C-alpha cells in the first residue's frame, strides 16, 4: 500500500482558490440567463411527480401555488438544471442541495442544547459550493418580494447574508481542523448576543424558541394520537394523516404492518450499538402515513409510534422516502447505492449535531417496489422561522444567520482555505450573488406563472390543503 499523500499546505490551497477566481471571476457568477432549449419547468415537475403517490400530487402543486416563494421551495429540480448550465470555479463541498431560507432552523443536539443549522438534506450530494449559496441568495430575494419588502431592504438582506457567509468561511479557514469540526451555533449563545444588541428581551423570538423546545415525542403523542378501541393510535385526519389500518383492508394492513416492522429491524442495523440498545427499549404501537412539507409532498412518509415503559414514554419516528437527488442528473450518481444512506451520510457530514436516531433502510412497499427511506425523530425541539410575519430588519438578521450556518457546513465538508481564497476580502462575491438573485427571482416568477397557467387550463391538478 503506498504511503498516504502529504496534505497540501495552506499557501497551496489558498493559491488554488485564487486560481479558480481567475478561471471563473466572482463577478461572472452574477450572470444568469435561460440556457438554450431550457425545459419547461412544469414538465420538470411533472416528471418528478411520476414517482410520487398520485393522490397527493395535487396537494404538492396546490402548496406550490400559494406564492412564488412556495413554488421556489418545491422546484429544486428546476434550479438544479439551471445551475448546471453555468460556469463553476469547481470548489466542491457536500451540498445541502436545497439551501433555501425555510430549510434552516433549530433542533436539540445529543446533549439537549438547542442549535441552529440546516435541517433538510433530501437532495444532498457533493458539488460546487456556489450552488448552495445561489439557492440561498435567490430564496432571500424571492421571499422578500413575496413579503412586499422594498428593493433596498431585499438588497441589504441578500448582501448581508452572503457577506456573512464569506466572512465566516474566511474565519474558519484560519482555524484548526478540529475547531472547525466541533463548531456549532448554539441558540442560547445566539440569544444572549441578540439580547445585548437589542438592549433587552425579544418576547416574540423567545416565545417561538420556547415552543420549539416543547416539540418532542410527548407533544407528538398529544397532537397526533388518541386512545381508540382500547389502544393508543394515530388520529384519522385525511389526507394529511392516515393510520395504516385505515389505508388498507384488514388483512392487507396486517401484512403491511409486518413489512414495516421488518423494515424497522433493517433500520436498527444502520445505528451504532448504543442507539440500537436504546431503540430495543421501545415497541411499535401504531403507524400512519403523514404528508409533510412542500417539495416532499407525494413522497412516501410514515410516522411510527413506539412506546417504552408505558403510554407516557413515547418515541415518534418519521420514516421518509429518499428518492434520487435532483442534483444527480447534473453531478453524477451518489457514491451510496441506497438513497436513504446518501441522505444520512450527507447530513452527518454537514450538521454539527445530528439526531442520535438518524438512520436508513430499504424496504419493499405494498406494491412490491423496493424503496429507500431515512429515519429520524419526528420532532426533537425542531423550530422554524415565521417568514410570513418577520419585519424587514429581523428578516435580514435571520438571513445572515442562515449564511453563517451554510458557511460552517461548507467549511466542515469542503476546503475552507481554498474557498476563502476564491471569495477574497472585497465584497465582489456578495454583489455578484445579489445580482444573480434578482435575475433568478425574475425567472422564478415566470416559472410560477407557468405553473398557475397549467393549473388553470387543467394540465395539472391542484388542491391546497393546509
Determine the Cα angle at 38 with ends 32 and 40, to 5°.
120
- In sequence order, the 6+-apart residues with CB closer than 8 A to the CB of 336 are 342, 345
Distance CA 97, CA 84 (A): 12
- Within 10 angstroms of residue 213's Cβ, the number of other Cβ atoms is 16
pLDDT value of position 200: 58
Average pLDDT, stretch 274-294? 91
Question: In the chain, what is the greatest distance between 2 CA atoms, to the nearest angstrom?
Answer: 70
Express each pLDDT in 132-147 by its tens digit: 999 999 999 999 999 9
The answer to whether 131 touches 331, Cβ cutoff 8 Å, is no
The DSSP result for 211-265, as a single string, is HHHT-SHHHHHHHHEEEETTEEEE--BTTTEEEHHHHS-HHHHHHHHHHHHHHHH
| CA separation for the pair 181, 189 (Å, rounded) | 18
Would you state the pLDDT for residue 1? 38
Predicted confidence at residue 382, as pLDDT, reads 86
The upper half-sphere exposure of residue 217, i.e. CA atoms within 13 Å in the direction of its Cβ, equals: 18
- Give CA–CA dist 413/416, Å, rounded: 9
CA nearest to 147, candidates 133, 135, 157, 136 = 157
Measured between alpha carbons, how far is 300 from 55 in angstroms, rounded to an integer?
A: 12
Strands (E), 3-143: 92-95, 104-108, 114-118, 125-128
- Residues contacting 225, CB < 8 A, separation 6+: 232, 233, 234, 235, 286, 305
**What does the pLDDT read at residue 252?**
78
By C-alpha distance, which of 278, 300, 276, 299 is closest to 288?
300
- How confident is the model over 301-360, as pLDDT tens digits? 999 999 999 989 999 999 999 999 999 999 999 999 999 999 999 999 999 999 999 999
What is residue 195's predicted lDDT score, i.e. its pLDDT?
Answer: 67
3-state secondary structure of 451: helix
Chain segment 356-401, per-residue pLDDT in tens? 999 999 987 767 788 999 999 998 888 888 999 999 999 999 999 9
CB-count exposure of residue 428 (10 Å: 0-12, 13-18, 19+): middle
Residues 6 or more apart whose Cβ sits within 8 Å of residue 453: none
Q: What is the pLDDT of residue 199?
A: 56
pLDDT of residue 88: 97
Q: How many DSSP H helices and E strands does the chain contain?
A: 19, 13
Residue 106 has pLDDT above 80, yes or no: yes
Continuous H helices in 108-238? 129-146, 151-173, 177-182, 187-198, 203-213, 217-224
- Local confidence band at 3 (pLDDT 50, 70, 90 cut-offs): very low
pLDDT reported for residue 72 = 98
CB distance 374 to 357 below 8 Å:
no
* Phi and psi angles of residue 370, each rounded to the nearest 5 degrees, phi first: -80, 130
Residues 6 or more apart whose CB falls under 8 angstroms from that of 406 comprise 96, 99, 118, 132, 133, 136, 165
- Report percent pLDDT > 70 for the chain: 96
| Residue found by looking up cell 434552516 in the block | 104
Given pLDDT bands bounded at 50, 70 and 90, which one contains residue 255? confident
Section 145-167 average pLDDT: 98
Lookup: cell for 194: 441578540
Exposure string over 277-300, b if 16+ CB within 10 A, otherwise e = eebeebeebbbbbbbebbbbbbbb
pLDDT, tens digit (0-9, with 9 covering 90-100), for 45-79: 999 999 898 889 999 999 999 999 999 999 999 99
Q: What is the pLDDT of residue 326?
A: 97
Residue of higher predicted confidence among 295 and 269: 269
According to the model, what pLDDT value does residue 196 have?
61
Amino acid at each position: 500500500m503506498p504511503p498516504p499523500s502529504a496534505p497540501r499546505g495552506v499557501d497551496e490551497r489558498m493559491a488554488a482558490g485564487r486560481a479558480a477566481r481567475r478561471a471563473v471571476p466572482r463577478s461572472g457568477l452574477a450572470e444568469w440567463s435561460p440556457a438554450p432549449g431550457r425545459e419547461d419547468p412544469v414538465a420538470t415537475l411533472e416528471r418528478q411527480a411520476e414517482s410520487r403517490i398520485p393522490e397527493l400530487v395535487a396537494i404538492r402543486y396546490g402548496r406550490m401555488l400559494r406564492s412564488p416563494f412556495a413554488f421556489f421551495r418545491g422546484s429544486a429540480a428546476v434550479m438544479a438544471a439551471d445551475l448546471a448550465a453555468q460556469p463553476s470555479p469547481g470548489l466542491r463541498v457536500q451540498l445541502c442541495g436545497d439551501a433555501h431560507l425555510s430549510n434552516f432552523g433549530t433542533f436539540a443536539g445529543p446533549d439537549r442544547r438547542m442549535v441552529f443549522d440546516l435541517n433538510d438534506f433530501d437532495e444532498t450530494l457533493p458539488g460546487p459550493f456556489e450552488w448552495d449559496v445561489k439557492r440561498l441568495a435567490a430564496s432571500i430575494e424571492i421571499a422578500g418580494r413575496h413579503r412586499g419588502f422594498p428593493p433596498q431592504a431585499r438588497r441589504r438582506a441578500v448582501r448581508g447574508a452572503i457577506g456573512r457567509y464569506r466572512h465566516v468561511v474566511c474565519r474558519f479557514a484560519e482555524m484548526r481542523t478540529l475547531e472547525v469540526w466541533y463548531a456549532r451555533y448554539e441558540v442560547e449563545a445566539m440569544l444572549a448576543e441578540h439580547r445585548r444588541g437589542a438592549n433587552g428581551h425579544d418576547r416574540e423570538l423567545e416565545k417561538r424558541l420556547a415552543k420549539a423546545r416543547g416539540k418532542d415525542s410527548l407533544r407528538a403523542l398529544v397532537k397526533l394520537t388518541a386512545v381508540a378501541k382500547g389502544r393508543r393510535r394515530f388520529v384519522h385526519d385525511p389526507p394529511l394523516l392516515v393510520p395504516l389500518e385505515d389505508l388498507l383492508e384488514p388483512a392487507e394492513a396486517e401484512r403491511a404492518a409486518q413489512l414495516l416492522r421488518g423494515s424497522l429491524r433493517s433500520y436498527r442495523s444502520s445505528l451504532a450499538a448504543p442507539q440500537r440498545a436504546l431503540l430495543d427499549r421501545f415497541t411499535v404501537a401504531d403507524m400512519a402515513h403523514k404528508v409533510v412539507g412542500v417539495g416532499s409532498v407525494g413522497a412516501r412518509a410514515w410516522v411510527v409510534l413506539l412506546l417504552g415503559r408505558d403510554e407516557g414514554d413515547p418515541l415518534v419516528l418519521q420514516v421518509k422516502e429518499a428518492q434520487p437527488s435532483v442534483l444527480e442528473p447534473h453531478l453524477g450518481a451518489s457514491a451510496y447505492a441506497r438513497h436513504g444512506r446518501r441522505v444520512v451520510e450527507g447530513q452527518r457530514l454537514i450538521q454539527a449535531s445530528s439526531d442520535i436516531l438518524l438512520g436508513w433502510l430499504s424496504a419493499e412497499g405494498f406494491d412490491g417496489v423496493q424503496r429507500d427511506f431515512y429515519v429520524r425523530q419526528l420532532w426533537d425541539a425542531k423550530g422554524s422561522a415565521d417568514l410570513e410575519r418577520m419585519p424587514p430588519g429581523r428578516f435580514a438578521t435571520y438571513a445572515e444567520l442562515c449564511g453563517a450556518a451554510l458557511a460552517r457546513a461548507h467549511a466542515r465538508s469542503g476546503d475552507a482555505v481554498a474557498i476563502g481564497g476564491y471569495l477574497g476580502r472585497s465584497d465582489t462575491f456578495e454583489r455578484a450573488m445579489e445580482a444573480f438573485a434578482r435575475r433568478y427571482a425574475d425567472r422564478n416568477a415566470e416559472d410560477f406563472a407557468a405553473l398557475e397557467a397549467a393549473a388553470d387550463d387543467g394540465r395539472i391538478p391542484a388542491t391546497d390543503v393546509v
